[in-house]
A and B are shown apart, each in its own frame.
Chain A
Amino acid sequence: MNDSLAHETLNHEAAADDRTMFGFWVYLMTDLLMFAVLFAVYAVLRDSTFGGPTASDLLNPDLALIETLLLLTSSFTVGIGMLAAKQLKKDQVMLWFGITFVLGIAFLSLELYEFYELIHEGHTMQSSAFLSAFFVLLGTHGIHIISGLLWMGIILVFVAKRGLTRSNVRKLALLSLFWHFLDIVWIFIFTVVYLMPFIGV
């Protein structure tokens, strides 16, 4: 392969990377719009408790704060992992993405624990429109976290097997975007669902 040809192939790949990244941003915006619907629905139905308990009766902001800190930290570790990926340090990538994975699991466990408590006390998504909106908003975020974790696991297997190839680094970059996105959505959930009832908004 002569120089100009190698250069041309490189350009071809760089252009493809750029397109994929751009397309993924557009995808994230569509996903954000789905969350926007859920937030709007939650705002409309927040007080439709059908005579049942309200948000401030049921929700525990302390637990949510721990969840928030876990997720924020995981966003930080994913960032470090991405820096390592750009420097092609495979072990560091495995380490930092591994930590992210564990933090994600911890977040998810706390969320499921909260769901379990609520359901155990008889506050299910069938109880009132408010609880429907609550469970579906948080559940949708939770399902995104699960898919993110699944995706992370698969990419880490790819990386372990094939190393930090160009396409694997690209996949990691998309994943980290996705992870930051989920973090931002969670900040809104934390604010709208957990904080607002307690400051009387």
Chain B
Amino acid sequence: MKEFFIGKLTLDALPHEMHTIGGSASIVLMLISIIAFVTYKKRWTWLWKDWLTTVDPKKIGIMYFIAGGIMLIRGGIDAIMIWSQQALAGSGNGYLNAQHFQEIFTAHGNIMVFFVAMALIFGFVNYIVPLQIGARDLASPFMNTLGFWLYVAGAVMINMFFVLGGEYAATGWLAVAPLSGKEFSPGVGMDYWIWSLQISGIGTTLGGINFIMTILRMRAKGMSLMKMPPFTWGSLCSMVMVVSVFPLLTMTIFLLFFDRYLGTHFFTTDGGGNPMMYTNLIWMWGHPEVYIIMLPSFGIFTEVVSTFSRKPVAFYKSNIIAMIGISTISLLVWLHHFYTMGADAKVNSAFGVATMFISIPTSALVISWIATMYKGRISFKTPMLWLMGFIAIFGLGGISGVLLAIPPVDFQLHNSLFLVAHFHSNAIGGVLFGIFAGLAYWFPKIAGFRLNERIGRYAVWSWIIGFFVAFTPLYILGLMGATRRLDTYEASTGWQPFYIVAFVGGLIIMLGVALQLVQIIASIMQRKRLVDRTGDPWDARTLEWSMTSPPPAYNFATIPEATERDPFWKMKQDGLQKLLYEDIHMPKNTASGIYISLFAFLVGFGFVWEIVWLVVLSMIGIVAVFIAKGFNEDSEYTIPASEVAALEAVSAREMRDTKKYAPENEEDMGLIEFVKTAPRWLFGLMRNK
């Protein structure tokens, strides 16, 4: 009877180890402080109506940024724990036991890929793509909020183990079989892995479908495919890959789930199962996944380099074709992750050659960026600095990647720290730097004021220096024979000094993160001075800069026509035309996405703890919400043309007024000034209701 009601869930599941108690306590404290703050400020209705139930892609984008930022810090703590354990482990055993260490690197990988990179990429795609293509909302606003909330449900699920269960998967981020089967991983940690990835993955697929619809069907008049801004192109490639490979992930995880729950024999060692099939299937998704998060970053860099060189993109067509080429070839190279599996030489060399082919379109991209800078009037603002760091680090990652693509070399380097250093070069130098460049570039559009340049520069340099200090030793260690995922090693290997240097590099990166937080706070403190008066602070070229910052809810009062590749640049050259306002149809807010995601979370939670009634009820709940949503045909509202005209007049007046009080000739706040003024500012913020 008891089993019926609570399944496997007993008091033992409550936290009783230092790290789970600490984790739970910080989660609970965070929740209490958020609830207290919102109640104190009487902002519940505002939070629910203006934010949580919103279908505005701009607001959903901001929520993705916030969630992704929090998860970045969460994954960063994991990283620092890995670094410090390995720095210490050369003399003595460090402070983590093997099981805990394995859980940490598994969680680090899952969080950074699924809940940081994907979230931040989706944040930009949500916010920027509609603005770039001249759309007022997405093809399916509901699917967008559903996708976001499924992502949140997955993110909550991956952190649930702190509170209930106390263990996470200890299998590595891809949970290779048969290690992830019931036989070798009987605990709930593996089930948390399954459901957190499954739920957020389905959300990602929905997002992919939605953005393909939006980009292919909702572009402004005149914007043919080959006139689309590069970031939109990168996003389109990325989303096409999402719908091409995420279904594979979904099904593979389902099969693993069947193995664990129904006793099937897909990936088991007995019953005729085939564990290597899991490796194949998961990498068919896993390899394209790294390009899914990379391609939008490529797009961001192309935008940045063109804007800050004040030139149109050089070799635009090759640039776009290169992105398409990368996404196509990346579907055909998954086997290079397991040359050592024992496929014969023909198979390995075919995949090796395909892998090396990817460096051709990638080089074409780099050439396009450098050629754009050539003879341009370059201004080295922070987005441009991120780009410089990116080219250096990504070049290193690319060259080490080509090395690893050669099967005989890979037999030496397989699963070594050389590999770890290689993919961190691409993930940090490529993905994360792209996101940071995009943040610096579009922040004025999103917030209405630009970021502090001075502290921003410090952050860039901390990241670049920190990266090289942290990962160069890993390349060397890999060549010395150090395998990845080691919690301890013999002192006689002589590895410890390298691990210590890597740890110091990690600390420098952390300094970079801290400086970024300082940068944001300092910018908020000086927001009146940094305010973006024109909506176009960089003198940029694409449509997202053509409206006020931040944009109105309906994005465009009048849908522009795009006759050129850089439509806004053209408009600025020609002078603005007179605007004619029309009625605007906008989607209404809906809470259905939240409800469905809540039920999806409960389905996952019910499966983790084997509570059958919860699973059944929650599934019925999902269907019920869908039916209720189907019955409700009143999902739009109209802003009359007169109101649009009035709103536009107000924002034009506001823009004029800000010009009056914004002083021109001050420098951005430096660190010393920040330390002097921040406490008083914070104190004022607290006192102010």
Q: Cβ of A15: which chain B residues have Cβ within 8 Å of it?
A: 217
Docked CA distance A200–B244 (Å):
33
CA distance A12 to B582 in the complex (A): 13
Q: Given that A26-B209, A30-B209, A150-B623 are known contacts, is A129 also in contact with B631, CB under 8 Å in the complex?
A: no
Binds B, one of A44-52, A66-74, A98-106: A44-52
| Contact among A5, A26, A37, A126 with B265 in the assembled complex (CB-CB below 8 Å) | A126
Q: Distance (Å) between the CB of B657 and the closest chain A CB?
A: 35
* Closest Cβ neighbor of B140 among chain A residues: A23
- Contacts A26-B243, A30-B243: A45 and B264 contacting too (C-beta < 8 A)? no
Residues of B within 8 A of A45 (CB): 266, 272-274, 277
Query: Is B139 at the interface (CB under 8 A from chain A)?
Result: yes
Listed residue (A12, A23, A31, A135) with the most chain B CB atoms within 10 angstroms of its CB? A23
Given contacts A37-B251, A41-B255, whether A23 and B209 have CB atoms under 8 Å apart is: yes
A23 in contact with B274 given A165-B633, A167-B633 (CB within 8 Å): no
The interface residues of chain A lying within 8 Å CB-to-CB of B251 are 33-34, 37-38
1/0 per residue, CB under 8 A from A, across B224-261: the answer is: 00000000000000000001111110111001001000
Which of the four size classes fits the interface of chain B?
35 or more
Whether B258 contacts A132 by the Cβ 8 Å rule is yes
Judged by a CB distance under 8 angstroms, whether B281 is at the interface is yes
CA distance A91 to B216 in the complex (A): 37
Tell me whether B277 and A22 are in contact (CB under 8 A).
no
Return the chain B residue nearest A29 by Cβ.
B243
Q: Which residue in B248, B264, B585 is a CB contact (below 8 Å) of A132?
A: B264
B281 contacts which chain A residues (CB < 8 A)? Answer: 37, 41
Q: Is B92 an interface residue (CB 8 A)?
A: no
Which residue of B is nearest A35, CB measured?
A: B251
A14-31 with Cβ < 8 A to chain B: 15, 18-20, 22-23, 26-27, 29-31
Taking a contact as CB atoms closer than 8 A, the residue among A22, A41, A158 that contacts B217 in the complex is A22
B285 nearest CB across to chain A (Å) = 10
Mask for A167-182, Cβ within 8 A of B = 1, else 0? 1000100000000000
Cα–Cα distance between A126 and B259 once the two chains are bound (Å): 9
- Residues of chain A within 8 A of B252, CB atoms compared: 37
A136 contacts the other chain (CB 8 A): yes
Contacts of A50 in B (CB 8 A): 265, 270-272
Which of A129, A130, A167 has most B Cβ within 10 Å? A129
A167 to B636, CA, bound (A): 13
Q: Is A196 an interface residue (CB 8 A)?
A: no
- Taken together as a complex, chains A and B put the C-alpha atoms of A38 and B258 apart, in Å, by 13
CA distance A82 to B670 in the complex (A): 68
B501 within 8 A of A: no
A33–B248 contact, CB under 8 A?
A: yes
How far is the CB of B3 from the nearest CB of chain A, in Å? 21
A18 vs B252: C-alpha distance when bound (angstroms): 32
Residues of B within 8 A of A12 (CB): 585
* B245 / chain A contacts, CB cutoff of 8 Å: 33
Q: Are A27 and B255 in contact (CB under 8 A)?
A: no
Asked if A154 lies at the interface with its beta carbon under 8 angstroms from chain B, I say: yes
Q: Is the CB of A158 within 8 A of B271?
A: no
A125 CB contacts on chain B under 8 angstroms: 258, 262-264
Q: How far is the CA of A43 from the CA of B266 in the complex (A)?
A: 12
Contacts of B633 in A (CB 8 A): 165, 167
In the complex, are the beta carbons of B244 and A19 less than 8 A apart? no
The chain B residue with its CB closest to the CB of A18 is: B217
Chain A 121-173 residues near chain B, CB threshold 8 A: 125-130, 132-133, 135-136, 150, 154, 158, 165, 167, 171
Instruction: Give CA–CA (A125, B271) in the complex, Å.
Output: 10
Q: Which residues of A contact B246 (CB under 8 A)?
A: 30
Count residues on chain A whose CB falls below 8 Å from chain B CBs: 40
- Whether A129 contacts B272 in the complex (CB less than 8 A), given A26-B209, A26-B212, A41-B277, comes out as yes
Complex CA distance for A37 and B627, rounded to whole angstroms? 30
A44 touches B274 (CB 8 A): yes
State the total of A-B contacts with C-beta under 8 angstroms: 113
Chain A positions within 8 Å of B630 at CB level: 154, 158, 171
List chain B residues, Cβ under 8 A from A5: 583
Contacts of B270 in A (CB 8 A): 50
**Chain B residues with CB below 8 A from A30, complex form:** 205, 208-209, 243, 246-247
Q: How far is the CA of A74 from the CA of B274 in the complex (A)?
A: 37
Contacts of A20 on B, CB cut-off 8 Å?
Answer: 139-140
CA distance A37 to B258 in the complex (A): 15
Query: Are B217 and A19 in contact, with the CB atoms below 8 A?
Result: yes
- Assembled-state Cα–Cα distance A22/B209 (Å): 9
- Asked whether, in the complex, the Cβ of A126 is within 8 Å of the Cβ of B274, the reply is no
- Whether B213 sits at the interface, judged by CB under 8 Å, is yes
How far apart are the CA atoms of A19 and B245 in the complex, in Å? 22
CA distance A72 to B17 in the complex (A): 59
* Contact digits for B192-233, partner A, Cβ 8 Å, 1 yes 0 no: 000000000000010011101100111000000000000000
Is the pair B272, A41 in contact by a Cβ cutoff of 8 Å? no
Given known contacts A38-B251, A171-B630, A22 and B274 CB-to-CB distance under 8 angstroms: no
- Return A21 CB to nearest CB of chain B, in Å: 10
Cα(A165)–Cα(B270), bound, Å: 55
- Give Cα distance in the complex from A105 to B263, angstroms: 28
A22, A26, A44, A50: residue with the most chain B Cβ atoms closer than 10 Å: A26
Chain A residues with Cβ below 8 Å from B271 are: 50, 126-129, 132
CB distance from A179 to the nearest CB of B (A): 17
Interface centre among A49, A154, A171 (most CB of B within 10 A): A154
Chain A residues positioned under 8 Å from B217 (CB to CB): 15, 18-19, 22
Of all chain A residues, the one with the shortest Cβ separation from B248 is A37
Is B266's CB under 8 angstroms from A41's CB? yes
Instruction: From the candidates B205, B255, B264, name the one contacting A126 in the complex (CB within 8 A).
Output: B264
Are B213 and A23 touching (Cβ within 8 A)?
yes
Instruction: Name the interface residues of B56-97: CB closer than 8 Å to any CB of A.
Output: none
Shortest CB–CB separation between residue B31 and chain A, in angstroms?
Answer: 35
A171 and B626 alpha carbons, distance in the complex (Å)? 13
Is A128's CB under 8 angstroms from B209's CB? no
Q: Are B255 and A136 in contact (CB under 8 A)?
A: yes
**Are B218 and A19 within 8 A (Cβ)?**
yes
Cβ B272 vs Cβ A128 within 8 A: yes
CA distance A146 to B273 in the complex (A): 29
In contact, B247 and A37 (Cβ under 8 angstroms): yes
CB distance from A8 to the nearest CB of B (A): 8
What mask results when residues 633 to 670 of chain B are scored 1 for a CB within 8 Å of chain A, else 0?
10000000000000000000000000000000000000
Q: By the criterion CB–CB under 8 Å, are B277 and A48 in contact?
A: no
Chain A, Cβ-Cβ closest to B264: A132
- Which parts of B261-299 form the interface with A (CB within 8 Å)? 262-266, 268, 270-274, 277, 281
Chain A residues positioned under 8 Å from B209 (CB to CB): 23, 26-27, 30
The complex places the Cα of A46 from the Cα of B208 at a distance, in Å, of 33
Instruction: Determine the distance from Cα of A127 to Cα of B217 in the docked complex, in whole angstroms.
Output: 49
Taking the closest CB of chain A, its distance from the CB of B208, in whole angstroms, is: 8
Which of A27, A29, A50 has the most chain B CB atoms inside 10 A of its CB? A27
The residue from B210, B248, B262, B273 contacting A48, defined by CB atoms under 8 A apart: B273
B262 and chain A: residue at smallest CB distance: A125
Once A29-B243, A44-B277 are accepted as A-B contacts, the answer to whether A22 and B216 lie under 8 Å apart by CB is yes
Q: List A contacts of B244 (CB < 8 A).
A: 33
Q: Which residue of B lies closest to A127 (CB)?
A: B271
Q: Are B627 and A154 in contact (CB under 8 A)?
A: yes
Q: Contacts of A158 on B, CB cut-off 8 Å?
A: 630-631
Q: Chain B interface (Cβ within 8 Å of chain A)?
A: 139-140, 205, 208-210, 212-213, 216-218, 243-248, 250-252, 255, 258, 262-266, 268, 270-274, 277, 281, 582-583, 585, 623, 627, 630-631, 633
Closest 5 CB pairs of A and B: A48-B272, A129-B272, A132-B264, A33-B247, A50-B272
| 10 extra A-B contacts, CB within 8 A, seeds A22-B213, A37-B251 | A12-B585, A18-B217, A26-B212, A30-B205, A37-B252, A37-B281, A41-B266, A41-B277, A130-B272, A132-B273
Q: Name 5 A/B residue pairs within 8 A (Cβ), A-sorted.
A: A23-B210, A23-B212, A26-B243, A136-B266, A158-B631
